[in-house]
Structure 1
Amino acid sequence: MTLRADARRNREQILAAARRLLVEHGPDHPLEDIAKAAGVGIGTLYRRFPDRAALVDAVLHDGMDQLVDAAQAALREESDAWSALCRFVRFCVRTRLGGLSAVIDPLRHEQMRLRPETVARRRVLTAALGEMIGAAQQAGDLRTDIGVGDLGMLINVHVRQSAGLADLSERVDARLAELLLAGLRASAQEEFPLPGEPLGAPDIDG
C-alpha cells in the first residue's frame, strides 16, 4: 500500500530519529523521546509501529534498503567503478546505517539477519559491491588483494558513533572515509600487502 505524502514523511522522520537515538542510547531508549525527536506524537509512532520490536525491525530493514539504493545509484551514476566505490564508502561512513546492528541483542540480530527478506536484500547489495570491486580492480584503481567481505568488514568498523565525539562527528567521518579509501587504492598494495586470502561474502555471511 502506498502511503500518503504526510504519512510517508512521518514514517521517515520516525525511522531517522529512532536510528540515531537507539544507536546513541541503546535499544531500550524511551519511544516517547523518539516521537518527540521525530516531531510527531506518540500516537502517530504507535500507529506506524505497534511496539518496539516492530520499530527496530523497520529501522534495520530501512537501513539495508538505503545501502542497496546507495550502491546501485553509485554504480549507475558515477563515471567509473572506483568513483562509485568511493561514493558508497563515504555514504556508509557518513550515515552509519549499520550502527543499530551493533547495539541490539545478538540473538535478535541473528534472527533478523537470517530472515528471507533480509537475505534477499543482502544478496542484492553484495552483487553491487562485487561489481564495483571487480571493475575497479580490473581498471587498476583498487588493490587486488581484497574481496567483498573485506570491504564489508572495513565499513562495519566505522558504523558506530564514537562516544563523546558528537560535535566532531562530521569531521571525524570525513577523515575516516578518506583514510579507508587511501588504504584501498592499488598504489597501497605493494607497500602494505595483506596477509592471507581476500574475504568474500560467504566468509562474513555464513
Structure 2
Amino acid sequence: MSTITPDADEADPADASDGPASRMPRMRADARQNREQILRAARAVFADQGPDAPLDEIARRAGVGIATLYRRFPKRADLIRAVAIDVFTALVEAAHEATEAERDPMDALRRFMHAALDLKLGSVVPALLGRVTVDEILDAVRHDAADPVDELLGRAHEAGLIRPDAVFGDITLMIIRLSRPLPGGVMPDDEALAHRHLDVYIDGLRPEGGARPNTRLSGPALDAAMFKRLRGGAMGAGSD
C-alpha cells in the first residue's frame, strides 16, 4: 500500500492564516520557507512592476512552482495583502530589534532606518495603494510601526544626539525617498548607494556643536568620472 506524502508546500492542518506570526498557527518549516520566499520575491517584483506584475515571475524569483504560489495565495489580492502586512510587520520588528540591540539612541535609529530601507518601503507601499487599506494592514499587524519609531526619535532627542527641529516625517519620508530606485535602472549598485546616502543624511541630523560623525560611508563612491560614464550609458551620449 502506497503512502501519500504531503506536498512540500502544505502546512500543518492548523495553518490557515496569512496574518502576522503572533496570530499564525504553527506552520511546517518548508511551508514557512516557501511563504517567505514568495513574499520576498513579490515585494521586489511589485516594487519594480506594480501590483499587476505576472505571478509566474514572482514564482520564478521565489524558486517555487506557480502551483505552490497559488496554494499559498489563491488570489492576487491575497498575495498583495500578505505583502503589505509582511512589510509593516517587519517594520515593527525592526524598530524593536534596533531598540534592544543598540544602547545609543542614535545608533538604534540608524539601525532601524537601514533595515527599513532594505524593506523597499518607498517602492512597495506606493505600488499597493488602492489595493489594500491601512486599516486592513494595521488590524492584521496589531501594532503601528510609527509608535516605536517615534519612541526612537524621542530617545535621541532626549539624549541631545539629534537636532531639535528634526521630526518624525524627516525620518520616515527620507527612507521612502531613498528606497525608490533611480530611474532608468542604470545604477548597478543602486541599493548600496542608497545606504551610503542614508548614512550621509543621518549624520546631517546631528545637532549643532554635536560630536563629529565617525561613520564610515559604505557602498560605492560615485565620483564625477563614474557619474559621467553612467550618464553617457543612460542617455546614449558621449561619457567623456
For normalisation by structure 2, the TM-score amounts to 0.71
Q: CA deviation at 1:159?
A: 2.2
* Matched-pair contact (CA < 8 Å) for 2:77–2:131: no
**Which residue of structure 2 aligns with residue 177 of structure 1?**
198
CA distance in 1, matches of 2:131, 2:159: 41
Q: Whole-Å Cα distance in 1 between the matches of residues 121 and 187 of structure 2?
A: 16
1:121 positional shift: 2.7
Match of 2:143 in 1: 121
- Scaled by the length of structure 1, the TM-score of the pair is 0.82
Equivalent position SS for 1:186: coil
Tell me the equivalent position of 2:156: 136
Name 1:14's counterpart in structure 2.
38
SS at match of 1:114: helix
- Structure ranking higher in helix proportion: 1
Residue in structure 2 matched with residue 107 of structure 1 by the alignment: 130
Runs of 4+ more than 3 Å apart? none
Contact 1:61 1:118 in 2 (8 A): yes
SS at match of 1:187: coil
Which residue of 1 is the match for residue 207 of structure 2? 186
Q: 1:42 to 1:166 in 2, by over 3 A?
A: farther
Equivalent pair of 1:14/1:34 in contact (CA under 8 Å): yes
Residues 152 and 135 (structure 1 numbering): CA distance in 2 closer, same or farther, change over 3 Å? same
Q: Which of residues 89, 98, 101 in structure 1 aligns to 2:113?
A: 89
Q: 2:51 aligns with which of 13, 27, 30?
A: 27
Does the CA-based 8 Å contact 1:22-1:100 persist in structure 2?
Answer: yes
1:83: how far off?
0.7
Deviation at 1:179, TM superposition (A): 2.2
Is the alpha carbon distance of 1:188 and 1:158 closer, same or farther for their aligned partners in structure 2, counting shifts above 3 Å?
farther
Residue 166 of structure 1 and its aligned partner are, at CA, apart by 5.4
- Contact persistence 2:179–2:194 (CA under 8 A): no
98, 103, 113: which one aligns with 1:79: 103
Report if the CA contact (8 A) 1:63-1:98 is conserved: no
Distance in 2 separating the partners of 1:83 and 1:187: 18
* Alignment root-mean-square deviation, CA: 2.0
Structure exhibiting the larger radius of gyration computed from Cα positions: 2
Measured in 2, the distance between the counterparts of 1:150 and 1:156 equals: 10
Question: Structure 1 pair 188/71, CA: closer, same or farther in 2 (3 Å)?
Answer: farther
Aligned residue number for residue 65 of structure 1: 89
Gaps of 5+ in 2: 1-24, 211-240
| Deviation digits for residues 152-202 of structure 1 (CA, Å, limit 9, x no counterpart) | 22222122222314511233122221122022111389xxxxxxxxxxxxx
- Which residue of structure 2 lines up, in the alignment, with residue 50 of structure 1? 74
- Which string of whole-angstrom CA distances, capped at 9 and with x for unpartnered residues, describes residues 56-77 of structure 1? 1100100011111010000011
Any stretches of 5+ residues in structure 1 without a counterpart? 190-206
Offset of residue 149 of structure 1: 2.9
Structure 1 window deviating more from structure 2 (76-85 vs 150-159): it is: 150-159
| Deviation (angstroms), 1:12 | 0.3
Structure 2 residue 177 is the aligned partner of structure 1 residue 157: yes
**What is the deviation of 1:6?**
0.1
Q: Give the equivalent residue in structure 2 for 1:146.
A: 166
Alignment identity in percent?
39
